[in-house]
Structure 1
Amino acid sequence: MKSNDYIKGRGAQKNTDNRFAQFSNELRDDFLEFCRIEGEISDRNKTQYLPIFPKTIVNKVDSPDVGMNYSLNPYQGCEHGCIYCYARNTHEYWGYSAGLDFERKILVKKDAPALLEAKLKSRSWKAATIVLSGNTDCYQPAEHQFKITRACLEVFLKYRHPVGIITKNALVLRDLDILTPLAADNLIGVNISVTSLSEETRRILEPRTATIKRRLETIRHLSENHIPVNAMLAPIIPGINSHEILNLAKAVSDAGALSFGFTVVRLNGAIGRIFEDWIRKTLPDRANKVLQQIADCHGGSLNDSRFGIRNRGEGKIAQQIKDMAHLARQKYFKDKVFPKLNTELYEAHKGGQLKLF
């Protein structure tokens, strides 16, 4: 049962202090009482789109736990509001909170397509899959308005360069006219995140994302258009969705996914405080149990930064999750293979058109 002060349509229920900031803000009860008496709104809960102008757009990924070498994020911050999102901590580098600010102050990189093209035209660049997202969802609601992801995909098609996508939004289907020719040359792989088959669980974990039905339909439509799909059953949260692994794997396999991956939730930095505040307001009857089980997967702490362990966890609960995932692969993905993307066409198209000589 949600508490009375629950903010509908958002994941985080407060702004945590920015670890880099000298000062902090506090929403005091006397201010809230003043707003009530005066009939004023203390917080309009609106999303802001703020343009930023980075000098580069392709990021080298050094973490051995992330299945990519390069990423490109058209947006920073994410309106989807997934309460567990590891990217929340990065918003502090921009001077904002990892809490509500992460969902309501969306930084927009309108120059991303031009920066990407400059990167692909660079003489020193060698073809390697660049993943759209990796930090925040490239098909979050802002993409309806700004269409930066679509413009980047057009650049990848122009240069016949391999690209991956990570999203939990059905908006990816809007760009089938670009994805289909990319797939024809084996230049695209799409990762669709499916965290639960329960719509109620989805609504509280990921408040502004596509419904589970729409995500499974998205996997089906992509697969029918010969676009390879990997399903991300992530994160697995003990006591919330850990019991769904087999059913999730069957559902995404039946929809056409060729493979799946999973991670065990970890709550680093400010995310631990944000998650704990959220679960005590949203699922108070099981909050202590869930928090304890998460900690049991990470050496007794919600925070785990150990390479090679942090995304899989350790201990009995983590092993049970791993065993269920192994069984799911044997049952539902035994004869399926996600293809390696093509890096051979790029050099011939590096100038923006096919080289004849």
Structure 2
Amino acid sequence: MQVGNPDLPVNTYEWDRDSQTLLIYSTMPESKWAPLLKEHLPEQAVKIIPAVHSKTDIDAALRAMGEDGGVLANGGRIVTAVPAKDGSTIAVGVEPAVGARMDTNAIAKELDVGIPVTVDVAADVQPATRNIGYYVNFFSGAYMQSATTGPNGRSCSTGFRIGRFSDNAAGMLSAEHCGRDYIGKTWYYSSTSNSSSNIGNFQGMMSVSSVAATDTGLWTGGNVAVMYPAVFTGNHTDGGTLEQIRGANIAVVGNHVCYSGSRSGNACSNEVTATGTLVCYSITQCYYGTTWTSQTSSIEAAGNGDSGGPVYRRVDGKVYASGIISGIVGGSQTCTGDPGSSTRSCSPVALYAPVDVALGSSTGWGLAYVP
């Protein structure tokens, strides 16, 4: 049994730290789980919690909500949709139309997706530098910028080195929303735009689903082949503290992950609170499969400019890739790392796209790591 296997009917994995028990929310009867758990997890305490609606039904409901950018009949729009761990309900956050009263009952009735929904006013969500000079190798969590500078330019953070199964071609996985307006355009590692810092061209979204958009994108070409599977784990000005990536893991509610954005630096103790959610940053930017986290010490985990950077989990002292920094919920000008400003907000509640929504046999790309 492979945890994270898409063939298993699992809504959510949750780690109960107090009892050291793995909770599995699933529509499959416990009797069918028993032989799998006995064979593959004989020493691990596991509790199967019946799910009300299947992951397949939940995903279909989220896709229906995200159609047409989540725009509602009264002019408001869906910003977030977070399913309960057992699939019993979906909590929908709505941005009301300007000057309109928000009738939550009417919206709930409009969202007739076969699963009960609760409606409330959405918190603001927005897409989220280690500005270091050129090294022989590139790494995860560094500043990168589009070739276009000025008000139409964009800066984000480098993601994970990946490889294509068929020919071992090199690529980088980062945030789709960073490059979506720059298809085919060159991006640079650090703010020095020259041939040696060319990290490749944005190729577009990369998702394991043919029907669901995810905030994961592919960069190829340039010098991406010299990107090494290691992540910056120091503060936002530390260009020397690095740790090798030793593999990947899936999002489990209750586990803690670290963010390593180029502008905020390393921030750990971010507890996973929800998985498989829908987030719409705008009418044209709705992403599925998003994971929510909350900083346990209430410090700012990520902010603008950190998008695309690595999210990782430390297991037995080793670093494992978890996802790509996508955005933040709420936000203020109180930031770790680079200070906040009119164009930089930060938040202790951050969002990421798990690596498993982009990598695997269906896309033909896998994570580069050090065994």
Q: Same fold (TM over 0.5)?
A: no
Bigger share in strand = 2
**Bigger relative contact order, structure 1 or 2, given CA contacts below 8 A and separation 6+?**
1
Q: Could you say which structure has the larger radius of gyration?
A: 1
Q: TM-score normalised by the shorter chain: which range applies? A: under 0.3
Q: Return the TM-score normalized by structure 1.
A: 0.25
